[in-house]
Amino acid sequence: MSEDQDIEKHQIDLHAMCPEYKELAPLKPGFALRAKTTMFQITSTIFSTAVILSVLLIALSSLIFNYLFARKRRPYIEQEKAAKAARPQGVKKAVPDLAYYADLQGMVLATREILTDDGFYLQMHRILPKEGANEFESRPPVLLLHGLLASCATYCSNEDKSLAFYLVRNGFDVWIADNRCGDFRKHTTYTKHDPRMWTWDVRHMALYDLPAFVDTILNQSDTKFTKLGLVAHSQGVAQIFMSFSRYLCPELNDRVYAVCGLGPAVFTGTVLHSFFFKLFHWPTSVFHVLFGNTAVFPHLIKLRNFVPGSLYSSSAYLFFMFIFDNDDSLWDRALIGRQFIFMPIYLSSNCLRWWVGKNSVNDRGCILHPHDPNDPASKPWFNRKTAPMALWIGGKDSIVDGNKLVIYLQENEPLAQLQSVNVIPDYAHLDTLWALDSVETVASGVRDHLLRHAFPSNEK
């Protein structure tokens, strides 16, 4: 079989990427499916509510204990005070309105609705300066991809230090987008209550969502560029690696001038083996009883529209900081409300199962089978030269193992163009986005890597 035939075969055979993972059987519409879905909604609501309330109680107790007896040093407390003094009066701390926070930075969002080849409607936002000429013909396009349970708002919730706004101010044509489903649950065939709408995971994001985003951006009439830059955090990096791989869309490498990966979720970290994540390690039948067969925690996400934003964001902050063992000592705590008001988003239970269920990524420790050069049956992930890559890795990141990824790429993937590795010793998983020194430590390097490869020979 030729290489091209091999690529074509695996573009429609997602199972070949992770053969030990148990795929869902095709769902047949009818009364039985509706009854089963209703039962799963009831059982998962009871279970997830109990789990979340228990975690919040433990997290709150832990927060109080740490405040009284184990308070962490906050090296940027003076910067926090200065930012507070400079902040205009009356700024809302926690509203689920991305356009509001863009407006505070002198930006507006131009929102687009796009359609993937498998029938999902997705939302993209182009970030525009309110004042001055946009001159998109001279601005290299860049797309920012978010992580698991997060949205594109993670790039816009750190005031003037937000990576998206920083790149706009530095001359880029910046796009942010939400993968399926975000808060935009819409399909050409299925309703949001139909479990057939939720049978996807990261492989589908890599196969359908990312190419649709790229097509939309590069088909704009006001750009002369034939390639774009990709900046991704956590799961977004996994999405890029899978899309670039021999299994899905290796030709996408030819449409990307550079990749910047922050906290890359390719190899898993130690925290995913904690007791909490063992709650997800069930066979598919049990998993659906506990977490449903549509979206995860949909009833809790709906609370965002009915409870005060500060209460919702504080609860989300406690929950995610505790289960992922995150560290906020480098953040501006006044911004926590806007950072967590957008979390979580609507995620399919099947995607959660793909990450942490039985025979999942968490079990094998990697999104794809690592290539072994000594095994003739083993193949590298990449069958063509990738776009130039740069990585930013937190030394205290226990969610992913970026160092293992670097070693793997250097030793086993000859076509991976890994040009820069930046390990920040004091950074945890979200610090690459929200640390008070993230502009100097991360954003400026992202800008430089993108500019280095955006020009020349990149115009239509």
Is 223 contained in some domain? yes
What's the pLDDT score for residue 1? 35
Distance CA 304, CA 69 (A): 33
Is 53 contained in some domain? no
User: Which residue did the predictor score with more confidence, 357 or 418?
Assistant: 418
The alpha helices in 207-348, defined as continuous H runs, are 210-218, 235-244, 275-278, 284-291, 298-302, 309-323, 336-340
Is 64 contained in some domain? no
> Dihedrals φ, ψ of 267, to 5°?
-110, 135
Is 31 contained in some domain? no
CA-nearest of 207, 176, 216 to 342 is: 176
For residue 371, give the 3-state DSSP assignment: coil
Q: How many domains does the chain have?
A: 1
Phi-psi region of 132 (alpha: psi -120 to 50; beta: other; left: phi over 0): left
Taking residues 357-367, report their average pLDDT: 89
Taking residues 122-144, report their average pLDDT: 86
User: What are the pLDDT digits (tens) for 91-112?
Assistant: 888 899 999 999 999 999 999 9
User: What are the pLDDT digits (tens) for 107-125?
Assistant: 999 999 999 999 999 999 9
Is 76 contained in some domain? no
Distance CA 211, CA 243 (A): 8
What's the pLDDT score for residue 8? 45
The CATH code of the domain that includes 292 is: 3.40.50.1820
Which residues are CB-contacts of 343 (< 8 A; sequence separation ≥ 6)? 149, 150, 151, 316, 320
Distance CA 434, CA 439 (A): 9
Is 327 contained in some domain? no
* Stated pTM of the model: 0.92
User: What are the pLDDT digits (tens) for 279-306?
Assistant: 888 888 899 999 999 999 888 888 888 8
Is 351 contained in some domain? yes
Structural domain boundaries enclosing 298: 3-22+96-307+342-454
Beta-bridge mates of residue 258: 229
Distance CA 115, CA 120 (A): 6
- Percent above pLDDT 90 for the chain: 68
Is 385 contained in some domain? yes
- Give the angle subtended at the CA of 197 by the CAs of 399 and 339, to the nearest 5°: 40
